[in-house]
Amino acid sequence: MRVPIRPVRGRWPTRIERFGPLRRFFRRDPLTILDENAHADAYRQAMDSIYVGNTIKVTGSARHRVPDQLLIDTVALEGARIVDLGASDGSTSVDLAERVDDFGEFVIADLHLTVTVVTVGRWHVLFDTDGECILVGSRRLSAWPELSRPVAALFAGVIRRGRERRAAEGREVVLLNPDTRRLIAADERISARVHDVFTVWGEPRPDVIKVANLLRRLYFCDDDLVRALHAVRDSLPEGGHLMVVDNPRIPGVVDPPPRAGIWQRDGDRLVEVARAGDPEIADLVELVGTAGVPK
Ligand SMILES: C[S@@+](CC[C@H](N)C(=O)[O-])C[C@H]1O[C@@H](n2cnc3c(N)ncnc32)[C@H](O)[C@@H]1O
């Protein structure tokens, strides 16, 4: 369950933080994403607490070793234009780009690539690109007003003042991990851009689109997932490849392996060419381009 207000770990007296029933409520500071000198791991961990739209920006490094290897073994990637779509802070993109090496172009894409932060007294108010307040944080507390009406009411004044000052005082923050930013600066083949999985990519089309932990039933209904899959299919050229990955959560299993499938565009259809495990939405990918399925 997402708790709508949390004390920040490490900022309270030890006796309070260690007090049994309260202990599990303390959470790492999500405002780490505002710190230009943050360590890559700390930055990545802060992504667990960034909820935007219907989704969470949770990610990790080295979490797609098996799917990435499957892609390398299945698809000729030399000179390929690769897109990691719904890439969050780009940690998984860094992993893949470093392993493939001889790709032609690599685009790290996400719909929510930036937030705007406004400081109101001791509070930092974060807005997404639609102007929705996604987080209110101070040194000691983090709150997610969209998760709870009482919390939204509690912070209504701070949010209103933040909104009023947004245009004049707002600072845009790009949500890319320090490792990702370093790689982009060092390799001109790699870039980042905003893209919505529900829209067609346009030209030049990617040869490979990886979508990991975005097209999931925990975020979208099946109709929307199929709609997104049609947009992704139309983003690929004939013969282009889609890889869908999900990291399942299985109660009682620590770090279960990710599940992945690779499909190749064949006209209106996506034809499976490889898989690892049982990818969550494989049944929906099979429906793409079949009669009676709305686009
Ligand atoms: C759970 S994260 C997955 C991050 C990474 N792919 C991974 O597997 O570690 C989901 C990401 O999808 C992004 N997202 C949400 N809706 C999107 C959309 N309509 N189009 C593109 N990206 C979207 C979120 O901003 C978030 O960064």
Residues 121 and 251 in one domain: no
Residues 192 and 282 in one domain: yes
Ligand 1 first shell, C-beta below 6 A? 52-53, 55-60, 63, 85-88, 92, 110-112, 196-198, 212-214
pLDDT at position 1: 67
Residues 89 and 195 in one domain: yes
Residues 127 and 270 in one domain: no
Ligand 1 atom 7 nearest Cα = 59
Residues 203 and 249 in one domain: yes
The per-residue pLDDT of the chain, averaged, comes to 96
Residues 87 and 139 in one domain: no
In a domain, 45, yes or no: no
Residues 76 and 182 in one domain: yes
Quote the ligand 1 centre to 84 CA distance (angstroms). Answer: 10
Instruction: Output helix, strand, coil percentages for the chain, rounded to the nearest 5.
Output: 35, 25, 40
Residues 144 and 232 in one domain: no
Q: Which domain holds residue 64?
A: 60-112+175-287
* pLDDT value at 213 more than 90: yes
As a whole number of angstroms, the distance between CA 87 and CA 84 comes to: 6
- How buried is residue 24: exposed, middle or buried, by Cβ count under 10 Å (0-12/13-18/19+)? exposed
Residues 179 and 214 in one domain: yes
* pLDDT value at 151 more than 70: yes
> Shortest CA distance to 288 belongs to which of 227, 215, 241?
227
- pLDDT tens per residue, range 22-47: 889 999 999 999 998 999 999 999 99
* pLDDT value at 48 more than 90: yes
In a domain, 53, yes or no: no
Residues 193 and 279 in one domain: yes
Residues 149 and 247 in one domain: no
- pLDDT tens per residue, range 50-99: 999 889 999 999 999 999 999 999 999 999 999 999 999 999 999 999 99
What is the helix (H) or strand (E) element at residue 141, kind and residue range? strand 141-143
Return the ligand 1 atom nearest residue 89 CA.
Answer: 27
Q: How many domains is the chain built from? A: 2
* pLDDT value at 175 more than 80: yes
Q: What does 145-189 look like in DSSP terms, one character per residue?
A: GGG-HHHHHHTHHHHHHHHHHHHHH-EEEE---HHHHHHHHH-TT
CATH number of the domain where residue 231 is located: 3.40.50.150
In a domain, 54, yes or no: no
